[in-house]
Amino acid sequence: MSVFQLRKVFRSPICRKTASDYVSSIRFSRLIHSLGFATVKAKEISGSQPAEVHNLVQGKWINSANWNTIVDPLNGESFIKVSEIDESGIKPFVESLSNCPKHGMHNPFKFPERYLLYGDISAKAGHMLSVPEVSDFFAKLIQRVAPKSYQQALGEVYVTGKFLENFSGDQVRFLARSFGVPGNHLGQQSHGFRWPYGPVAVITPFNFPLEIPVLQLMGALYMGNKPVLKVDSKVSIVMEQMLRLLHDCGMPMDDVDFINSDGKTMNKLLLEAKPRMTLFTGSSKVADKLAYDLNGRIKLEDAGFDWKILGPDVHEVDYVSWVCDQDAYACSGQKCSAQSMLFMHENWSKTSLLRQLTDLAARRKLEDLTVGPVLTVTTGAMLDHMKKLLQIPGSKLLFGGEELENHSIPSIYGAIKPTAVFVPIEEILKGENYELVTKEIFGPFQIITEYKDNQLQLVLDALEKMHAHLTAAVVSNDPLFIQEVVGKTVNGTTYAGLRARTTGAPQNHWFGPAGDPRGAGIGTPEAIKLVWSCHREVIYDIGPVPQQWKIPPST
């Protein structure tokens, strides 16, 4: 059937689709089944067939003369070449950001069609990620660079796809919803608008190479900003492929710049380009430096030493044990929401909880990546930290504390069995111990302690002294206990109830820290509006001027 015939059919009142929509859907279907956006095959990346990662600036994919070789975290083989921009090559990126005005690529008064454009892009991209061939491609690509179990990697793809579905259709323009308030006299009204920053930067870590950058990048774009995106080079291949998918779904090539570089070069780019807002997800040390360098024009989702309290009411020991294991050791503990410290009421000590935690940790194997390489902490550093903890009076190793067996993980990464160290609650609060005990180890490592009924205040004191307030869990169905703990803590994402956990950042609720005005959220309309837009008030005052009005005396 010709396009002319299709148009004739679709003009009938029975069918609402236009011929162009139909032809577009055919192309989209072919794209799905051919993975036309992809320039790599996840399964085939190896030392003999290394993949390449490129940069995107001013609408063009470019390379530099510098290539950073990424080693396979499972065997040390050089398997990805990343084209990295050095300080001499940042000029096009600076120019690209500088060309974006402060009022953004779109706003409620300028190019509102782009709100609709990004609703359509999100719908198509969300559908793409729901197609088994595409979701499998990204899950396996994630596994290659940030080894985690297939289910964990697929879960990341699922959440990303659902987020995109959430902001399809009219949902992007609803993010820019305004309000009006009557004024003091006829013709006066004040209107509040969500306004973009214009040129912005997005800097994201290695542990969620698809979910974090996509959710923050799309939030920036929805609100009308022009972002430059930097992802940790170890995993940036995932986002490079996702950008190609977004382009195929209709995203203009010059809407996003994508740079691979070291930290020093990115810092120079930020200082020269002067983005109006920078989103940083990563370590607290780097976050504080950026906050200083950028004069506070920054939002942070930094480190999290995340805690869980098991209340005095004991229920469903098997289930709670399983959640504790997942929270502490899924993704080898490389989640900013991973359970770092478990406060266990003495009633739980009388159950099989600790035995079950030991057995569940022992099930984790390198073969299925339920435990695997730790990409930011070496084996030696983790074991040295454990030895220091074991010097605290009353402390003991509950399980783990050994290097993984029969592995080929390169020495620049970590490889230890899931580990738990018990430290008495009284010792944790001592000045000479507290900083050591609450040091975040971004790996399969947790502290476990015990408290009695009359020691809840000690637990709350320990929480009050913490610096990072990302996630927390209060495992109890006692409403008064929950009320006491939640009312005296501050973590931005807090789960309460029998099924409470610390990990899990689905697209349906806010995920982010609290207690810090620089804190950034992710995932929800509230998070997007907070991070990627500011408030602008426009006061209309058109009159009329009252009849017989006269110039009053000076005041």
**Active site residue ranges:** 301, 336
Q: Helix (H, G, I), strand (E, B), or coil: what is residue 143? A: helix
Peptide bond into 205 cis (omega under 30): no
Residues 386, 389, 394, 399, Cα dihedral to 10°: -20
Q: Which helix (H) or strand (E) holds 450?
A: strand 445-451
Cα angle, residue 343 at apex, residues 341 and 347 outer, rounded to 5°: 150
HSE-up (13 A, CA, CB side) for residue 460: 16
- Locate the DSSP E strands across 304-429: 306-310, 339-345, 396-399, 419-422
Which pair of tokens denotes residue 276? 């109006």
Angstrom distance (rounded) from CA 476 to CA 469:
20
The per-residue DSSP string of 62-113 comes to E--S-EEEEEPTTT--EEEEEE---GGG-HHHHHHHHTS-TT-S-BTTB-TH
Q: Do the beta carbons of residue 446 and residue 340 sit within 8 Å? A: yes
Q: Are 168 and 123 in contact (CB under 8 A)?
A: yes
Report the amino acid identity of residue 300. Answer: L
Token pair listed for 213: 């950058």
Q: Could you tell me which residues come within 8 angstroms of residue 414 by beta carbon, excluding any fewer than 6 positions away?
A: 373, 374, 375, 376, 377, 378, 379, 381, 382, 443
Amino acid, res. 192: G
Give the three-class secondary structure for 362.
Answer: helix
506 HSE (CA, 13 A, CB side)? 6
Tokens describing residue 27? 């192309």
CA–CA distance, 240 with 243 (Å, rounded to integer): 5
CA 508 from chain centre, in angstroms, equals 14
Tokens 């770092």 identify what position?
Answer: 340
Rounded Cα gap, residues 238 and 342, in angstroms: 33
Q: Locate all alpha helices (DSSP H) within 444-524, ordered by sequence.
A: 456-464, 479-487
Q: Going by C-beta distance under 8 Å and a sequence separation of 6 or more, which residues neighbour residue 511?
A: 337, 471, 492, 493, 505, 521, 522, 523, 527
Nearest Cα to Cα of residue 168 among 103, 116, 233? 116
Tokens of 44: 């085939």
Residues paired with 419 in a beta bridge: 445
